[in-house]
Amino acid sequence: MHGHTIFLFIDFYLSKEDWFIPNMKYLIGIDLGTSGTKTVLFDERGGSVASATVEYPLYQPRNGWAEQDPADWWNACVSSLRQVLESSGVNPGDIAGIGFSGQMHGLVLLDEDGEVLRNSIIWCDGRTSAECAEITEAIGARRLIEISANPALTGFTAGKILWVRKNEPEIYARARHILLPKDYLRYKLTGVFATEVSDASGMNLLDVPRRRWSAEILEKLAIDPALLPSMHESYEVTGYITDEMAALTGLKAGTPVVGGAGDNAAAAIGTGIVESGKAFITIGTSGVIFAHSDNVTIDPKGRVHTFCSAVPGAWTVMSCTLAAGGSLQWFKNNFCEPESEKAAETGQDVYVLLDKMAMEVPAGSNRLLFLPYLMGERSPVLQPEARGVFFGLSGMHKKADLIRAVMEGVVYSQKDCLDVLREMRVPFKEISATGGGGKSPLWRRMMADAFGCPIAVADKAEGPALGAAILAGVGTGVYNSVPEACAELIHVKQRQEPDLANGEIYGRYYNLYKRVYAQLAGQFETLSLL
């Protein structure tokens, strides 16, 4: 476990006159992310009343490993809840329910007293290649995809369970509960061990078509089903705030807590992607394209993921690249100190400055390509050994060229995934942009041009947290259903139409991007063995 300083950011959105509306019900969405936990208090119209974010670190004890301390998540949850409640002035008794959104796939192990046994191995950790091979051999590659709708992936939870069992047997022997990150917060607030179908879909342990734990997989992997939490639909009430947690957080004892959803499933609800023909893209630390489907649609090659939707009776098809916005963040952290200092001095967002620099560079970044595989890759090329590459770098290139190349490389990686969804005939007419990258006009323009379809922006900016709050509203009767709530609360405020000329330029560079990766794939494996 690690100690560190936490950072708190608080925002207010409505005047006090708007806060106190007779009979108004309020909902809370808690979004447990990789960089921080964000708690948002919404009114029943979807308006953001108050928001607080507490950040925490990520630990990388070895190359390709990624861990976080669940105590950091819990401290961030408590701190952000208290700040939101104390600052807003809303009566805790008017809060109808609480929902969670959370980073997926992380492994949290608890002992018989509910105490954390080790740091959580999180979604972007790549240490479990050998365990994934064991899972594939034990279940069979085709059968595993038939049941869990996905191949064995290093990011998924099952491989992490096997890794701990093999490498830290004394810890595994003491384990009595296996939870996902957001479900650990649920346990702390309610005392209940529970999860829901959207997040559990990313464990390689769920029977995704049947929306229940797979007895076959658990038996073949020798994982005791008693270790796993109870299963629920995302909108279902799973527990209630305990007296002890009410005293700690300021919430009212007995406030209902619903299942919630994995971060991307929650973001889909928070951007209105709840019916066939709709999709969204998010460029956060990772990059995700997420499409709604009324039927179970599985890629037999396992290049993209099929999960249970947070909408009852529906599923989603999702790609996940591991270093999307994370690639630009890496470049900013290591090579943009002057820009960061200027941003701090002028009160600007440093990413706005980087956007402006990249806008001065033409499409194609003056014949420079970037492969954004800083953390290995998951979709649609499953290769943990892959690494980042600048291709075509010359003495003429300046920092602005590299910034634009990083941004374009992220777009190419998303187009690589989008092509798979098109091959699977997953329908969508336009794509909504969310996440930090969705705020960038340049990134939205690049995506529209490269994808050849409109990129929309919703009028609500709190995607995952709002999605979690909507689920809480459905579970507690504030709304009749998820689709009805989204139709009432969420609308498109802006569309970026594609530019065909730029699309042709990006098409040529995208084809080269694909060839460069194909030729380097074997060399990445060689590099990993040196």
CB 307 within 8 A of CB 316: yes
- 293, β-bridge pairs: 315
Q: Tens digit of pLDDT per residue, the chain (530 long)?
A: 444 434 444 454 444 344 445 689 999 999 999 999 999 999 999 999 999 999 999 999 998 899 999 999 999 999 999 999 999 999 999 999 999 999 999 999 999 999 999 999 999 898 999 999 999 999 999 999 999 999 999 999 999 999 999 999 999 999 999 999 999 999 999 999 999 999 999 999 999 999 999 999 999 999 999 999 999 999 999 999 999 999 999 999 999 999 999 998 999 999 999 998 889 998 988 899 999 999 899 998 889 999 999 999 999 999 999 999 999 999 999 999 999 999 999 999 999 999 999 999 999 999 999 999 999 998 999 898 999 999 999 999 999 999 999 999 999 999 999 999 999 998 888 999 987 888 999 999 999 999 999 999 988 888 899 999 999 999 999 999 999 999 999 999 999 999 999 999 999 999 999 999 999 999 999 999 99
Answer whether the bond into residue 229 is a cis peptide, omega within 30°: no
* pLDDT at 284 (0 to 100): 86
* pLDDT at 21 (0 to 100): 53
* pLDDT at 378 (0 to 100): 86
* pLDDT at 334 (0 to 100): 97
Distances (CA, A) of 4 to 1, 57, 72, 169: 10, 8, 9, 29
The Cα 150–Cα 156 span in angstroms is 10
Encoded tokens for 429 = 């007419």
Note the pLDDT tens digit of each residue in 366-423.
999 999 999 999 899 989 899 999 999 999 999 999 999 999 999 999 999 999 999 9
Q: Position of tokens 């492969």?
A: 371
DSSP letters, 273-342, are: --STEEEEEEESSSEEEEEEESS----TT-SSEEEE-SSTT-EEEEEEESSSHHHHHHHHHHH-HHHHHH
The Cα 142–Cα 313 span in angstroms is 24
Nearest residue to 136 via CA among 159, 113, 119: 159
Q: What is the CATH number of domain 325-458?
A: 3.30.420.40
What single DSSP character describes residue 376?
Answer: B
Task: Fill in the amino acid letter for 353.
Answer: L
* pLDDT at 354 (0 to 100): 98
Encoded tokens for 495 = 């569309």
DSSP letters, 422-463, are: HHTT--EEEEEEEHHHHT-HHHHHHHHHHHTS-EEEES---H
Contacts (Cβ under 8 Å, ≥6 apart) of 473 = 25, 27, 44, 96, 97, 479, 485
The Cα 104–Cα 97 span in angstroms is 22
Query: In what helix (H) or strand (E) does residue 191 lie, and over which residues does it extend?
Result: none
Length of the chain in residues, anyone?
Answer: 530
Q: Where in the chain is the domain with CATH 3.30.420.40?
A: 8-271+460-493, 325-458
The Cα 433–Cα 228 span in angstroms is 34
Q: Position of tokens 């997040």?
A: 199
* pLDDT at 64 (0 to 100): 84
Q: Which of 72, 207, 263, 449 is catalytic?
A: 263
Strands (E), 364-441: 369-371, 389-391, 428-434
Q: How would CATH label the architecture of 8-271+460-493? A: 2-Layer Sandwich (3.30)
Q: Is 263 known to be catalytic?
A: yes
The Cα 381–Cα 384 span in angstroms is 9
